[in-house]
């Protein structure tokens, strides 16, 4: 994965938050010359020796006038109108454009093994820029803006859930942190549910290699390489934590009746009622054929767990059950669950 063209001049739109920071780290390790364009609001002290251009990409891209790079990696495009500004500005300034999209662009998650040619979402309100409620459809339109201008010079990457140290969403971090605390851990009961996610460091390394090789096209980028179930993931969390953590498998009926929020309040859980079996069962064969590889699951869990060791006790969490809410649910479950 580390082999490629060294000494490239790369422009990264973003570069200081999660995937961006790991792209920068990998780029520096490989000897590339980097320029970061961002607002200067997130982790502004990172990478003091890297050129940074502080600007809002919406309407403020004249700061790029007269500059040339070998390639651009766009990690921060969410609104088609804004992405269009970037591709128009850079169409003659770079030879290759990588757009980081999302697995969320697909229209129908009732299907397992979604490949890159599966139908995408369409935006119902063409004027909407509501990222919270139309994230996937907006990302799909962003892809189209990039492809319309760059064509065969465009690489579109559709990651699944990105995980690892410095994850701002807490969706994976919740589990590593919670198991590290030990005791009874409430987990959703579908032990055979398929899980997919990718370590941010594996994703960054692969994207950079694809850029170095000037690869074009569309790729699902998620892992692992072999099927992973909820039960296997929870067992790995227990093993890595080396604590007295005890998964308590709670039924979906109970979770829904107690209004436990899917995906956010109980990360990685999507109920059968939602009927999205394909959301974490997309095909990653195309990306793997180009060299996408995955570090051991235990390593990702351990590194994320280690990163979270110094979290302050009053840290606000963006995902996961509060300890009080979890205790209440476990108590209710112990009173309701049939004895074995």
List the chain domain ranges: 9-162+197-221, 173-195+226-280+296-330
pLDDT at 44: 87
The third-level CATH classification (topology) of the domain covering 9-162+197-221 is Rossmann fold (3.40.50)
Radius of gyration of the chain (CA): 21
Residue 160 to residue 103: CA distance in whole angstroms: 5
Q: Which two tokens mark 92? A: 């003659």
| Residues 179 and 238 sit within 8 Å (Cβ to Cβ) | yes
Per-residue pLDDT of 255-301, as tens digits, reads 999 999 999 999 999 999 999 999 999 999 999 999 999 999 999 99
Q: For residues 178 and 238, is the Cβ–Cβ distance under 8 A?
A: no
Which band of pLDDT confidence, cut at 50, 70 and 90, is reported for residue 3?
Answer: very low
Q: Is the pTM of this model over 0.85?
A: yes
d(CA 90, CA 328): 54
Which has more pLDDT, 336 or 201?
Answer: 201
Return left, alpha or beta for 60; rule: phi > 0 is left, psi -120 to 50 is alpha, else beta: alpha
Residue 1 is predicted with a pLDDT of 40
State the pLDDT confidence band at 43, using cuts at 50, 70 and 90: confident
pLDDT-derived band at 15, boundaries 50, 70, 90: confident
Distances in whole angstroms, Cα of residue 41 to Cα of each of 37, 48, 228, 326: 11, 14, 37, 34
CATH (residue range 173-195+226-280+296-330): 3.90.25.10
Upstream peptide bond of 224 is cis (omega within 30 degrees of 0):
yes
How does residue 338 score in pLDDT terms, banded at 50, 70 and 90?
low
Once rounded to an integer, what is the mean pLDDT over residues 213-241? 97
């Amino acid at each position: 994965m580390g082999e490629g063209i060294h000494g490239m001049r790369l422009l990264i739109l973003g570069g200081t938050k999660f995937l961006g920071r790991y792209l920068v780290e990998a780029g520096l390790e490989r000897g590339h010359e980097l320029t970061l364009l961002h607002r200067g609001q997130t982790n502004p002290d990172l990478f003091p020796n890297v050129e940074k251009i502080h600007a809002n990409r919406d309407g403020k891209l004249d700061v790029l006038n007269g500059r040339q790079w070998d390639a651009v990696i766009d990690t921060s495009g969410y609104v088609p109108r804004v992405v269009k500004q970037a591709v128009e500005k850079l169409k003659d300034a770079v030879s290759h454009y990588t757009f980081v999209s999302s697995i969320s662009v697909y229209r129908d998650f009732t299907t397992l093994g979604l490949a890159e040619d599966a139908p995408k979402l369409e935006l119902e309100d063409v004027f909407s820029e509501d990222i919270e409620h139309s994230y996937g459809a907006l990302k799909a339109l962003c892809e189209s803006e990039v492809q319309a201008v760059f064509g065969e010079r465009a690489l579109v990457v559709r990651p699944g859930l990105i995980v690892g140290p410095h994850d701002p969403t807490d969706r994976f971090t919740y589990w590593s942190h919670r198991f590290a605390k030990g005791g009874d851990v409430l987990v959703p009961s579908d032990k055979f549910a398929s899980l997919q996610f990718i370590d941010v460091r594996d994703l960054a390394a692969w994207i950079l290699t694809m850029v170095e090789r000037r690869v074009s096209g569309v790729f699902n980028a998620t892992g692992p390489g072999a099927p992973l179930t909820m039960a296997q993931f929870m067992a790995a969390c227990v093993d890595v934590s080396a604590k007295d953590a005890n998964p308590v498998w709670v039924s979906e009926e109970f979770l829904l009746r107690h209004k436990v929020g899917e995906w956010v309040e109980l990360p990685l859980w999507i109920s059968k009622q939602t009927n999205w079996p394909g959301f974490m069962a997309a095909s990653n064969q195309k990306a793997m054929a180009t060299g996408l590889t995955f570090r051991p699951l235990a390593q990702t869990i351990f590194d994320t767990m280690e990163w979270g060791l110094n979290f302050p006790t009053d840290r606000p969490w963006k995902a996961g059950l509060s300890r009080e809410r979890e205790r209440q649910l476990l108590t209710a479950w112990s009173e309701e669950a049939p004895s074995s």
